[in-house]
Structure 1
C-alpha cells in the first residue's frame, strides 16, 4: 500500500512539483530537486522489498500477504504487465478526450459526456461479446489483435483531431479504442483467474485490485504530465519564432504553462500591455500548441499500446480446451493435488 501511494503521489505531482528541478509548489526539496521522481523510485524499491519479504516468508513456511503462486510463471507475469498497460491507457484516453473537447473545442461538460457515450458502450459491448471468441482463439491471439486495434484507434485520433469538431471520425476512433480496451480487460482478467486454483481466488482478486488502482492512477498522471510537458515545449518553441516581444513574455508566467481556452488566455493578456495584434498572435500560438500537444500525446499512447505486444506475446497460446500438461494451470493443479494428497 505504501509503495502504491508513493508511486501515485509521485506521478500525480510531477507537473506541480517539477519533473527534475523543484517548483515553488513542492512541499520540500532534495538539494533543489523535485521530490516527485524520488517518490516514484522509492515506491518501486518498496515493491521490490515487498516481494523479497514475501519470498522469505514462504521460505520459512509462513503465509505471505499475497500468494506468490499467482505470479510464478512467465505467462502470468506477462498477463499482469499487459493488464497494467491497458488499465493505464483507458484513464489516459479519458483524460485527454475531455481536455480536447472542453479546452480545444470549448464545449460544455454535457457535450463531453454525450460525445464519449459511444466509447463507453464500445468497452461494455466488447467486454461482453469477446467471451464468444475464447473457445476459438488463444489469449495471445486476442490480446495481440486488441492491442493493435487500440493503437490504430489512438493513431486515428492523433491524425483526425482538429480545432474544428469532426464528430464522426473522432467518435469512430474512440469506438475502435473502446473495442480493444473492453476485450483486453475481460480477457486478461479471465486469464488471471483461470491460471490459478480456487484456493487462490482471494489473492487473484487482491492482485487485480492493486493492478487496477495503480494503472488508473498512473494512466491519468502520465497523460497529464505528457500533455503539459509537450504543450510547454511547443509554446516555448513557437514564442521563440514569433514577433511577440520579450517585454510582453516577461509579464506572463511561462514556467507554469497549462491548457487554457482562448477566452482564458485573452483574460490573462488583458492585464498586460499586449496590443490587439499581439493578443491575436498569442491566441494563434495557443491554438497550435494545444493541438500539437494532444496529437503527440495520442501518438505516444499508440506507441505504448504497440509496446504492449511484448507482454501480449507471452500470454498462453492455447484455447481453454487444449491446455497442455506443461502449462502453468496444469502444473499448479498437480502441485495442489499433491499437497492435498499428503495432507
Structure 2
C-alpha cells in the first residue's frame, strides 16, 4: 500500500470516529400502544411521528442529519413500558416520542431519566410524571401536552354551570390516567360546592358493565364524568342504551378516536369530552394535512401532538447544535419552537406552557367542537 493512500484512509477513519465523515442518523423512538385495547392511539403516534420525520428530512434534516423513527409497542401496560424503555436505552436511542398512557409514561420515565434519554410525551397527562421528574432533578422528562390538573380546572366550572343541579356521578378505570383525571375533576367540582352522588372505580377490560349501568340507574344519575378510555366508556354507553337509560356522559381527551362510536353505537350520540383546540383548522397544519391526505390517514386525536413532538425534539437539537439529550432539554426550556399545533414553549418542569381546551360533542358518528 502506498504511504499517501494509507494516510488518506487514516484521515477518513478519524473523521468517521468524530462523526464528521458523513451525516449521522438521529433515531427517535415512538413508544405507545401499537396493540391492545387502545391501539388506535398508538397508530396516531406512529403516523404523526413518521410524517414529521419525513417532512424534516425532505427539508435537509437537522443540522444535515436525518431523522429515523423506530416504533416500540408498550400495549399501554406499565410492565411492558418499562421493558420497552430498557430496550430503547440498550439500543442507544437518545430521544423518545412517547409514551401515550400515563400508566406507561410514569414508570418508563425513571428508566429514561437514569440513562439521560429525552422522553417527551405527546399524550400523557397525569401531573405525577413531570412533578416527580422535577422533584428528582430529572431534566430530560418532558411532555408536549396539557396536564390533568389544567384540564380539571377548565372543566369543573363548566360542569357546575351546566349540570350543577343534576345528580352527578364520577367513575374511573383505576389507571394512572383515568383516576388521575377523575380525581382533579372531583376536586374542582367539590371546591365549587358540587358533590357527586357516587365516586368509584370500575374494572377495566371487562365486557359486561350491566352492573355499573344498573347502579347508576338506581341512583338516578343524570350526568356521569368518567376518567378512562373509549373502550370501557363505549360499552357502558351501549349497555345503557340497551336499557333505554339516558344520561349525559362527559370524559377527557381519550375519546378523540373514531373507535368510540364503533364501540358505543347509538350510545355515543351527545357524548361530551375535552380536548385541546383542533389544529387541523389552522394554517400551521396545512403542509402536514397534505401529507396525511396522501397516505389516507385522518390526523385526529394525538396524531398532530406526536408530529409536533418530533418537531420540538428536532428544533431543540438544531438550536443546541448537538444531539445531546440534556443539552436539548435545557434548550427547549429556553426557546419557542414552531410546530404543527402552533408555537410551543416549556416551563422548568418540562410541561407545555398555557395549555388550552375545547369541549367536543359526538354526533352522527363523529365529533366536533361544541358551540357554546
Which is greater in Rg? Answer: 1
Using CA pairs below 8 Å that are at least 6 residues apart, which structure has the higher relative contact order?
1
TM-score normalised per structure 2: 0.25
More strand by share: 2
More helix by share: 1
